Amino acid sequence: MVVGARPNFMKVAPVVAALDKSKDNLEYILVHTGQHYDASMSRVFFEELEMPEPQVNLGVGSGTHAWQTAEVMKRFEPIALETRPDWILVPGDVNSTLACALVASKLGIRLAHLEAGLRSFDRTMPEEINRVLTDQISDLLLVPSMDGHENLTREGIPPERIHFVGNAMIDTLVRLLPLAQKRVERLMEEFGLGERYVVVTLHRPSNVDDPTSLEAILLGLSDLAESLSVIFPVHPRTRQRVVGGCLMPEGSKVKLTEPLGYLDFLALESAASLVITDSGGVQEETTYLGVPCLTVRPNTERPVTISQGTNRLVSNTREALITAASGCIREARREKHDPPALWDGHAGERVVEVLRQN
C-alpha cells in the first residue's frame, strides 16, 4: 500500500485497520513516498490516525510533476522487485498514485486503485490525468460512489474489475469524529472564533499560484470577516504568497494559522457555519457532516457531493464568493440527511474482502 499526500492517509488507514483485524493473515507493507514530507504534512497524520509507521519511506519530496513522478518510480521499483507482492494498492489521484501504478503494471504485479472512477472531465487538472491513467491499468477498481462505477463502465472497463466499496475516507471521519468534537470549544477559544465562523482551505494552483485569483479570493474572505469569523489554515507555500506578496488587504480580520492536524481541522469543520475549499476530500467530509460547502473550482470529480450533499461550485472572484457565501450563511444548515450509499464507516472492510476474494 502506497501513501504520499495527506488525503491518502485517511483513505488507507481504514484498510490498514481492517487488515490488522483480518483472520486471513494477510500481510502488508506500507510505503510512504514522501510527496508530503514535513511533520505538519505527514507525521502528525500517522499519529492521529493511529497508523503504523511506514516500513518504507522513499523520501522523494517536492518537484515538478514530471520529476516527482519519475523519482517515485525510480525509488519504488526496487521495493516492488524485492517484495514481489500479490497486490499493490494505490489510493487517490496524486503523482505517487500514478507513479506506483506504472511500476506495478510494468512489473506485472496486480494493481488495485482505491477511489477509482472519479472524473472532473477537465484534462487541464494533473489529478485528472493521474486518475484516468491509473484506472486504465488497474486490475481492481474500488469505487467510492456510483458515478465512479458509471464512468468506468462508459470507458469500457470490464464490470468484473469494478467493485463498489464506498468511501474509505469517511471510515476515518466516522471513527474519529467523537474525539474531534471534544476539541471544538477549546479551538474556538484558542483562535478567537465567534459562534458563527467560516473555515477556509485552498491549495490548487489555479487559486493560490495566480496572484490575481488569490487576491480576489482574499478580498472576498476579508469582506466575509467583517461580519463573522474566518479562519484560514495556510500551507507555507501559500502563506509566502499571501504575506510576501502583500495580497491580503490591510486590516483584514481573516485569521491565518499554520496547517492543522486532522483532528483539529475535523473539529472546526464539523461546527462551522460554512466551509470554503478547493479540496476533494473536504467536499466529501462536509457532505457527510451536513455542513454547507463552497468549492472554489469550475468543476468537481465528486458530483455526488452536489447531488446528494451540501456542496456548491463557485468561481474564484470576489463578487461570486461573497454572493454565494452570504446565501449559504443566510440559509439555515440543512437538516440531517442520509449520506451517499456505502458512506457508512465500513469501506475498509469491504476493500479487504475484495482483495481476499482475489
316-331 tens-digit pLDDT: 999 999 999 999 988 7
The reply to whether 276 falls in a domain is yes
The reply to whether 280 falls in a domain is yes
Query: 196 and 154 share a domain?
Result: no
Average model confidence (pLDDT) across the chain:
93
Query: 102 and 193 share a domain?
Result: no
**CA pseudo-torsion sign 95, 96, 99, 102:** negative
51-62 tens-digit pLDDT: 898 999 999 988
Q: What is the arithmetic mean of pLDDT over 194-212? A: 93
Contact yes or no for 66/102 (Cβ under 8 A) = no
Altogether, the residues listed in the chain come to a count of: 358
Query: 183 and 133 share a domain?
Result: no
229: which strand partners?
197
Q: What is the arithmetic mean of pLDDT over 8-28? A: 92
The reply to whether 337 falls in a domain is no
For residue 93, the model assigns a pLDDT of: 96
The vertex-295 CA angle with 242 and 151, nearest 5°, equals 130
Helix axis angle, 280-289 to 168-181, nearest 10°? 60
**Structure-model confidence comparison of residues 6 and 191, the more confident one:** 191
Contact yes or no for 138/132 (Cβ under 8 A) = no
271-291 tens-digit pLDDT: 999 999 999 999 999 999 999
CATH of the domain at 185: 3.40.50.2000
- The answer on pLDDT for 40 being more than 70 is no
Catalytic residues: 203
CA–CA separation, 188 and 21 (whole Å): 37
CA–CA separation, 305 and 289 (whole Å): 11
Q: Is 52 exposed, middle or buried (0-12, 13-18, 19+ CB in 10 A)?
A: exposed
Parent domain of 96: 2-167+343-357
Lowest model confidence (mean pLDDT) among 41-55, 69-83, 109-123, 272-286: 41-55
Query: 41 and 102 share a domain?
Result: yes
Number of domains forming the structure of the chain: 2
219-238 tens-digit pLDDT: 999 999 999 999 999 987 78
Query: 150 and 256 share a domain?
Result: no
Enter the C-alpha cell of residue 50. Answer: 493511529
- The answer on pLDDT for 121 being more than 80 is yes
Query: 275 and 317 share a domain?
Result: yes
Query: 154 and 188 share a domain?
Result: no
For residue 1, the model assigns a pLDDT of: 97
CB neighbours of residue 298 within 10 Å? 12
**Structure-model confidence comparison of residues 253 and 35, the more confident one:** 253
330-353 tens-digit pLDDT: 875 555 678 999 999 999 999 999
Query: 140 and 8 share a domain?
Result: yes
Contact yes or no for 261/45 (Cβ under 8 A) = yes
pTM for the full model? 0.94
